[in-house]
Amino acid sequence: MTKHGLVLVPEDAAAAARHFSFPPPRTADSCRKLAAQIDLSAAVMGSWLDSMKASSPRHKLMAPAAAAGAGDAEHDDWMERHPSALGRFEALAAAARGKQIVMFLDYDGTLSPIVEDPDRAVMTDEMRDAVRGVAARFPTAIVSGRCRDKVLGFVGLAELYYAGSHGMDIRGPTAADTNLAPNEAKTVLCQPASEFLPMIEEVHGALAAAVEAIPGAKVENNKFCLSVHFRCVDEKRWGALAELVRAVLKEYPKLRLTQGRKVLEVRPMIKWDKGKALEFLLEALGFAERSDVFPIYIGDDRTDEDAFKVLRSRGQGAGILVSKFPKDTCASFSLRDPAEVKDFLRRLVDDSTDTTS
């Protein structure tokens, strides 16, 4: 076995994957550079605006017709490097066969569509059934920037692990859904940023008051982090919004500002992210040192890149980016939208049933 690709192919699956070629892995250097691009705390205003625009697929849709050919070539090249997880499912499944799959799923844009009102980002019953089927066979965690309780409310499956606030609030299934003792089930697994709670509350109030001047802006309190949504803000006001947010945060040097899909994220200045959450859960589940584990992480956001990087560095499993457009990513595979995520999860369940029957 080698670490040249994300997925390590077992010897008994080599024949099934003979013609399967994994995308060339990013180096640790290139992934660090990508992470540096994502952290906007020291960015100049022009870079802020460019990054905010880059988070909007609409800009790609509005590209001049003359560039259509170049755009098609770019997309084809990107798909060569990040092939569809559905199109390459058989080889991916062969690589996972005989190993313990551990599933990690982002929520917004992965299990539910991106919507204008973040409070209405509900998942379909069909998607819930697909996730339930996966969780019945493999340890499954939702890793989201949202507040853990809010994501649990959206998903409605108590048998899952939930890592909210970009992994800063992790809790496992309750005793009612597992064989855990009651005292174990109620234990919060990990809250590395608990000391920041008073500060987050204070900044939430300050930001909510500051952005009232920007129509469409919304500040969401995710307990250990804050989200400033600008999806409904006129693009001409994006710069003003970013300036308001930066002005508030100048008084709080222990907080940092990053960006996701049409959202500015305020987080504690600690070394913790979705990648750390993935590592913590693998450790808590007893899989960290095992060579026969196959973690799969599916996400659509820049914040998911930290988890993709962890899989790269481990040389295990598969990172899958959900996107219809070419993006710089450390993931090895891609899916276009939540509908394809649902199909992938169902195929994974079907494949598991076939191999165990």
Nearest CA-CA partner of 326 in 88, 114, 73: 73
Nearest CA-CA partner of 267 in 158, 155, 141, 169: 169
Q: What is the mean pLDDT of residues 92-119?
A: 94
* Cα 83 from Cα 127, distance rounded (Å): 23
Residue range 284-333, pLDDT digits in tens? 999 999 999 999 999 999 999 999 999 999 999 999 999 999 999 999 99
The mean pLDDT of the chain is: 83
The C-alpha torsion from 129 through 297 and 222 to 44, rounded to 10°, is -140
* Cα 306 from Cα 6, distance rounded (Å): 15
Nearest CA-CA partner of 310 in 23, 17, 31: 31
Q: What is the pLDDT of residue 83?
A: 96
Q: Which two tokens stand for residue 112?
A: 């539910």
- 266-280 as b/e: b if 16+ CB within 10 A: bbbeeebbbbbbbbb
Q: What is the pLDDT of residue 49?
A: 65
Q: What is the pLDDT of residue 61?
A: 45
Percent of the chain with pLDDT over 90: 69
- Rg (the chain; Cα; Å): 20
Q: Which amino acid is at 304?
A: D
Asked whether residue 184 carries a pLDDT value surpassing 70, the answer given is: no
Nearest CA-CA partner of 99 in 13, 162, 19, 4: 13
Asked whether residue 180 carries a pLDDT value surpassing 70, the answer given is: no
Q: What is the mean pLDDT of residues 198-202?
A: 97
Q: What is the pLDDT of residue 50?
A: 66
Band of pLDDT at residue 138, cut at 50, 70 and 90: very high
Asked whether residue 342 carries a pLDDT value surpassing 60, the answer given is: yes
Band of pLDDT at residue 8, cut at 50, 70 and 90: very low
- What are the beta bridge partners of residue 259? 264
Q: What is the mean pLDDT of residues 64-80?
A: 73
Residue range 21-53, pLDDT digits in tens? 344 444 445 454 444 444 444 444 566 666 666
The CA-to-CA distance between both ends of the chain, in Å, stands at: 28
Q: What is the pLDDT of residue 174?
A: 58
Q: What is the mean pLDDT of residues 133-138?
A: 96
- For 90, 123, 182, the CA distances from 330, given in Å and listed in that order, are 22, 26, 39
In the annotation, is 106 catalytic? yes
Asked whether residue 11 carries a pLDDT value surpassing 50, the answer given is: no
Residue range 242-297, pLDDT digits in tens? 999 999 999 999 999 988 888 999 999 999 999 999 999 999 999 999 999 999 99
Cα of 302 vs its chain's centroid, Å: 7
The answer to whether 117 and 133 have CB atoms below 8 angstroms apart is: no
- The least confident of 36-40, 130-134, 229-233, 326-330 is 36-40
* Cα 58 from Cα 27, distance rounded (Å): 30
Nearest CA-CA partner of 344 in 57, 107, 131: 131
**Which residue out of 50, 72, 106, 108 is catalytically annotated?**
106
- 309-325 as b/e: b if 16+ CB within 10 A: bbbbebbbbbbbbbbee
Residues 6+ apart with CB under 8 A from 146: 107, 108, 154, 164, 165, 220, 222, 227
